[in-house]
Structure 1
Amino acid sequence: MAYNDSRQTAIRLYRKLRLGWIFNTSTFTGNFLLALLVGYFFKKLGYPDDVNYVFFLSVLAIGLWITEAIPPFAVGIFIIAGLLLGFGTDFILEDHKTPVEMYLGTWTSNVIWLLLGGFFLAEAMSQVGLDKALFRFTLDKFGSKPERLLMGLMLTTAVGSMVMSNTATTAMMISSILPLAHMMGKNSAYTKALLVGIPAAATLGGMGTIIGSTPNAIAVGALQEKGINITFIEWMIFGLPTALLATYLFWKFLTRSLRIKAIEIDLSKLSYETSNPKKFEKNAVLFTLIITVATWLTEPIHHIPIAATSAIPIVLLTLFQIIKAEDVRRLPWDTLMLVAGGLALGIAMVDVGLTDIVMEKINQLPIPLFGVGIVFSIIAVLISNIMSNTAAASILVPLGLALPGIWGFAVPLIVALSCSSALLLPVSTPSNAIAFSTGMIEQKNFRSGGLLMIVLGPILAFVSVMIYALIFGA
C-alpha cells in the first residue's frame, strides 16, 4: 500500500511539474554555453571588450528567441538587464561605465507609446462587438458569391489590422466566420480558403501603417535614433499599396489554387447572435478611432508626434469608461517588453560599433549594395517564419542602419515589410496560430501560400520601399 501511495504521489507530482522546467533550463544553459563559445572565437579577432560583450549578448538573445527557452518578452528584459550589468557596473566590463539611460529609455520610447495607443484602440473595438459588425458589413458590401465574399473578408481583415494588432483582428474575424466554416465543413476548400486567407490578410495588412505590425514600429524607432523621422502618412505612401497588393495577390492565389468559384454558399442557414453594446459606447469608440487616426494622418500639418497623440485613445477611452482597470491588465504588455529589449539591443550594437563591423564585412563580399538589400529582405522573411518577427526585426534593422547612403534608410524599411510576409507555418505568426487552433485546418494548408510569400513578399517590399526612397529620399 505504501508503494502504491508513493507511486501515485510521484505520478501526480510528475503531471503537475511536466518536467518542462528541465527542458527550458537545459536549453537556456545550452544557449548560454554556445554564446560563450562563439564569443570566445569572436574575441580572438581583436575587437574591444565592449564590442565582444554586445556580440555575446546578441548571439545569446538570438538563440533564446529561436529556441524559446524563455518567453520572447523575458528575453527583452534579459537584454536590458545584461546591458545595465555590463555598462553600468564594473562586474563584467572594467573601466567601461557609461550612461545606461539610453537602454532604460527604450521603455518610454516613441515606439512604445505608439503601440500602447494601438492596444487601447484594439481592446475597445473588440469590446463593442466590431467582429460581428465587420462580418455583416462585408456581407452587405461584397455579397455572397464565394470569391467576392473571400475578397471582402480578407480586405476587411487587412484594413482592420492596419489600426488594430494583427492578432486581435484575426481573433475577431475568425470568430465571425466560424459559423460559416462549420456549416461548410472541415474538408471544404472554402473553409481552407477562409482559415488561410484571413490570417494572411491580417499579417500582410499590417504592412500598411506604422502601428499595423511591430517590426514597422521598430524600423521607425531605429531610424529616429539616426535622426530620420517617418510620419504616419509617409509610411502609408509605400506601406498601404504594398499591403493591399500583397493581400490581392494572395486572394488571387487562393481562388485559383482552391478553385472556390464553383462553390455554392447558402448564408440563409447562418444566424448571428450579437451582443448589443450601448449606443454611447459604440459611438465613443468610433469617435476616438476617428480622432486618433485623423491626428496621426495629419502629423505633417500640426507637427505633433504620433507617439504623443497616442495619448488620445488612452485618455478618451478611459474617460468614457470603455476601458477599465481590469481591461488594461489584459493588454499585451509582453509585446512592449519585447520591443523595449529589441530596441535596447539595437542601440547597443550601434553604440559600440558592432553594426559597423558587421556591415564592413558584408561590404567586402563580392556583391553590390543592391544585392545586399535583397539578401536582407530574404533573410528577414526566412527567419520570421521560425521566430518572432519582432525579434527578427530587432536583429536585422540595426544592421541595415549601418549601410551607407540610401541603403541605410531603405533596408530597415524593407526588413520590416519582409518580416510581415512570413506565413509558412502555424507558428510563423500569431494570426496563423489562431486559425490553426480551430482544428479545422492542417499545417500543410499554410505551405503553398507561405512559399509564395517567401518569394513575393521580399520582392514587393524591396520595390515599394526603393521607389519611395528614390522619390522622397531620406
Structure 2
Amino acid sequence: MHKSTTKQTIRLLISILVPLIVLMMPSSWIPIAQLTVVQHRLLAIFIMAALLWVLEPVPVFATSILIITLQLIFLSDKGLNVLRIDHTNEAFGHLIPYTDILGSFSSPIIILFMGGFALAIAASKYQLDNNLARVLLKPFGSKPKFIMLGLMLITAVFSMFMSNTATTVMMLALLGPIVASAKPGDLGIKALVLCIPIAANTGGIATPIGTPPNAIALQYLTGEHSIDFLTWMMFGLPFVIVQLAIAWLLLQKLFPSEQTHLQLALEGKFLKSWQAIVVYITFAATIILWITTKLHGMNTYVVAVIPLAVFTLTGIMGKAEIKQINWDVLWLVAGGIAIGLALDKTGLAKGLAHSIDYQSLSPVSVVLTLSIICWLMANFMSNTATANLLMPIAAAIGTSMQGLASIGGLQGLLVVVAFSASLGMILPVSTPPNSLAYSTGLINSKDMAKTGIILGLFGLGIVYTAMFVLT
C-alpha cells in the first residue's frame, strides 16, 4: 500500500512539475513560431492534462474538471483580471469566451452519450442485452477468444455504415451478460471490453462514410484525384481486416483469460410486458434512425435525445435509473472537448501543425511527418478536428509537390492522413467509443494506453508498408 501511494505521489509531482517548467520556460525556447502568451499557457495545461490522463495519479474525470477550471481562470475572457491585463496586445493572443469553455458540458457529444446510457440502462432493465447476446453471439461458441472475435466482427461491420459511438453503445449493451459469466478479476474481461472500442474505431476506416476523417479527405479528392465508394473499400477493408486480426491476437496476449469457456446464458426469451416492448421498439428505431440519417435529415445527436424522452415519459427510466448515468464519464468527455476547443480557438493546434517546414522535406518525409503529427494530435483531440486541421495542409502540399507521385500522389497522402487520424485511440478521451468503454469501470486508462499505442504503431506500419508496396 505504501509503495502504491509513493508511486501515485511521484506521478502527481511529475504531472505538475513538467507543465510548470514549460510555463516558466521562455517562449523563444519552444519550437513553435510566434507562440502567444495564451498559447504558452494552454501548452502547459495541455501537457499537464496528457500526463495526468496517462499516469492517472488522480481519477481521469477529476483531470477533466481541472482542465476546464484552469482554462476558465487562465484562458477565458472572464478569468483573473491580472492574467488578462495585456489582452489587447497581439502578442498576448486571443482569449476564449467563458461560455464556450463551459459549453463543453452541453456539447452534442455529451447528449449522444446520455442517449447511449439511456439505451444501455433500459436494455439491461428489461433483459434486451441478454437476448441480443444470445442471438448474435451464439454462432461464435463459448471460448473467450471466439466470443471476442464475434464482438469485434459485429462491431466493425456496424461501424462501417453508422456512427462509431452509436455502434459502441449498442455493443456494450451485450457486454453485461458476458462479463457476468466470467470470474471476477479475470484479465480476459479487459480484453472483451477493449475489443469493442478498438473494433468501432477501426471498422469505420473501411468505408468513406464510416468515420469523419474519411469524408473530410474525400472533400479534397475531386476531379482526377477522386475516389469512389468501392475503390476506397478495396484498400480500406483489407487494412481493417489485418488490423482487427492483430488487435484480436494482441488482446489475447496482453489480457489472457483464465477460463477456457464462458457459460453464456444462451437460453431465454424476450419479455412481453408493454414496457419491454417499448424498449425493443425504441432501441430498434434509434438504431435504424442512426443508420438512415441521410434519409430523414436528423443527425446522430438529435436522434440520441429520442430514447431519453421516450424512457422518461413512460417511466421506464425514473429517478433511480437517471442516477445510473455515468456522470463521471460525461465530465471526462467534457474535458477532452474543452482541450480540443482551446487548441482550436487559441490557434495552438494550427501552430503545432505549421511548426514544421514541409517544403524542405522529401516526399516520403512529408507523408510520414504529417501522418505521425495527425496520429499524435488525434489521441488528445477529436479525430474530426484533427483531420479538419491537417487535411487542408496535406492537400496544399500534395498539389504542389511533384515528387509525391512516386508514393501515391495526393490520393496516397490524404488517405494516409485520414487513416492516421482514426488510429489515435490511446486515452479514454481520444474517441467517444474509448470513453464509453472506460465508463464500464472494467478497464483503466493504462490498459487503454498500452493497447492503443501498440495498435496505433502497428496500424501506421501497415499503412506505410502498403503505401510503398502498392505505389
- Give the TM-score category using the shorter length: 0.5 to 0.7
Kept in 2, the 8 Å contact 1:117–1:310? The answer is: yes
Unpaired segments ≥5 residues, structure 1: 1-14, 211-215, 224-233, 258-263, 381-389, 437-442, 465-474
The residue number in structure 1 matching 2:320 is 326
Task: State the distance in 2 between where 1:94 and 1:29 align.
Answer: 30
Task: Give me the whole-angstrom Cα distance separating, in 1, the residues matched to 2:352 and 2:375.
Answer: 18
Q: What is the Cα deviation at residue 206 of structure 1? A: 2.2
- Contact kept? 1:124, 1:322, Cα under 8 Å: yes
Which residue pairs with 1:453 in the alignment?
A: 455
Within 5 A, what are the aligned runs for 1:59-458? 59-86=47-74, 87=76, 88-89=78-79, 90-96=81-87, 99-138=97-136, 140-141=138-139, 151-152=149-150, 154-156=152-154, 163-165=167-169, 168-169=172-173, 171-172=175-176, 174-175=178-179, 177-178=181-182, 198-207=192-201, 245=241, 249-250=245-246, 253=249, 277=271, 279-364=273-358, 366=361, 368-376=365-373, 379=376, 392-394=379-381, 401-405=388-392, 407=394, 414=419, 417-420=422-425, 430=438, 434=442, 453-458=455-460
2:238 & 2:334 partners in 1: Cα distance? 27
In structure 1, C-alpha distance between the alignment counterparts of 2:277 and 2:454, rounded to whole Å:
41
CA–CA distance in structure 2, aligned partners of residues 106 and 366 of structure 1? 38
Amino acid at match of 1:41: M
Aligned counterpart in structure 2 of residue 41 of structure 1, from 13, 16, 25: 25
Amino acid across the alignment from 1:58: F
**In structure 2, do the counterparts of structure 1 residues 433 and 110 end up closer, same or farther at CA, with 3 Å as the change threshold?**
closer
Distance 1:146 1:51 in 2: 48
Work out the CA distance in 2 between the residues paired with 1:29 and 1:79.
17
Provide the C-alpha distance between the structure 1 equivalents of 2:55 and 2:419, rounded to a whole number of angstroms.
Answer: 25
Long gaps (5+) in structure 2: 88-94, 160-164, 205-209, 217-228, 254-259, 396-413, 429-433, 467-471
Would the aligned equivalents of 1:157 and 1:205 in 2 still touch at CA under 8 Å?
yes
Larger displacement relative to structure 2 (163-172 or 341-350): 163-172
Of 12, 16, 20 in structure 2, the residue corresponding to residue 32 of structure 1 is 16
Q: Percent identity?
A: 22
Separation in structure 2 between the aligned mates of residue 357 and residue 101 of structure 1, nearest angstrom? 24
Structure 2: how far apart are the matches of 1:454 and 1:404?
19
- Determine the C-alpha separation between the residues in 2 that align with 1:167 and 1:270: 16
Maintained 8 Å contact 2:423/2:459? yes
Pairwise CA RMSD of aligned residues? 5.1
Count how many residue pairs are aligned between Structure 1 and Structure 2: 391
SS in 1 for 2:355: helix
**Worse overlay, 453-462 or 344-353:** 453-462
Instruction: Quote the Cα distance in structure 2 between the aligned partners of 1:62 and 1:458.
Output: 21
The CA deviation string for residues 92-115 of structure 1, in whole angstroms up to 9 with x for no partner, is 232436532221222212211122
User: Measured at CA, do residues 430 and 273 of structure 1 come closer, stay the same or move farther in structure 2, by a change above 3 Å?
Assistant: same
1:52 CA drift (Å): 1.4
Q: Distance in 2 between matches of 1:202 and 1:353?
A: 34
1:316 deviates by: 0.9
Following superposition, the deviation at residue 35 of structure 1 comes to 0.8
Return the alpha-carbon distance in structure 2 between the equivalents of residues 366 and 156 of structure 1: 42
Q: CA separation of 1:255/1:304 partners in 2, compared to 1, >3 Å: closer, same or farther?
A: closer
User: 1:292-312 deviations in whole A, cap 9, x for unaligned?
Assistant: 122222222332232122110
Deviation of 1:91 (Å) = 3.2
Relative to 1, partners in 2 of residues 1:244 and 1:120: Cα closer, same or farther, differing over 3 Å?
farther
| Aligned CA distance change for structure 1 residues 151 and 41 (closer, same or farther; 3 Å) | closer
2:83 is paired with a residue of what secondary structure? coil
Instruction: Give the 3-state SS of the residue equivalent to 1:361 in structure 2.
Output: coil
Change (3 A) 1:135 1:352: closer
Could you say if the C-alpha distance between residues 148 and 60 of structure 1 is closer, same or farther in structure 2, counting changes exceeding 3 Å?
closer
State how far apart, in whole Å, the 2-side matches of 1:167 and 1:136 are: 13
TM-score, length-scaled by structure 2:
0.64
Residue pair 2:152, 2:195 contacting (<8 A) in 1 also:
yes
AA partner of residue 117 (structure 2): F
Contact map agreement 2:131 2:270 (CA 8 A) in 1: no
Q: Give the superposition deviation at 1:277.
A: 4.9
Whether the aligned pair in 2 keeps the contact of 1:171 and 1:434 (CA below 8 Å) is no
The code of the aligned residue for 1:361 comes to S
| Equivalent position amino acid for 1:362 in 2 | I
**In the TM superposition, what is the alpha-carbon distance from 1:340 to its structure 2 partner?**
1.6
Deviation, 1:454, is 4.2
Inter-CA distance 40–415: structure 2 relative to 1 (3 Å threshold):
farther
Query: CA shift at 1:370, angstroms?
Result: 2.2
Tell me which residue corresponds to 1:11.
none
Counterpart secondary structure, 2:24: helix
Q: TM-score, normalised by structure 1?
A: 0.64
Q: Which amino acid aligns with 1:453?
A: L
Which amino acid in the other structure matches residue 198 of structure 2?
L
Q: Compared with structure 1, are the counterparts of its residues 294 and 168 closer, same or farther at alpha carbon in structure 2 (3 Å cutoff)?
A: closer
Which is further off, 62-71 or 413-422?
Answer: 413-422
State the alpha-carbon separation in 1 of the partners of residues 443 and 66 from structure 2. Answer: 31
Separation in structure 2 between the aligned mates of residue 421 and residue 461 of structure 1, nearest angstrom: 18
1:143-196 per-residue CA deviation (whole Å, 9 max, x = no partner) reads 679987664455456659853449944742532653xx89xxx9xxxx99x757
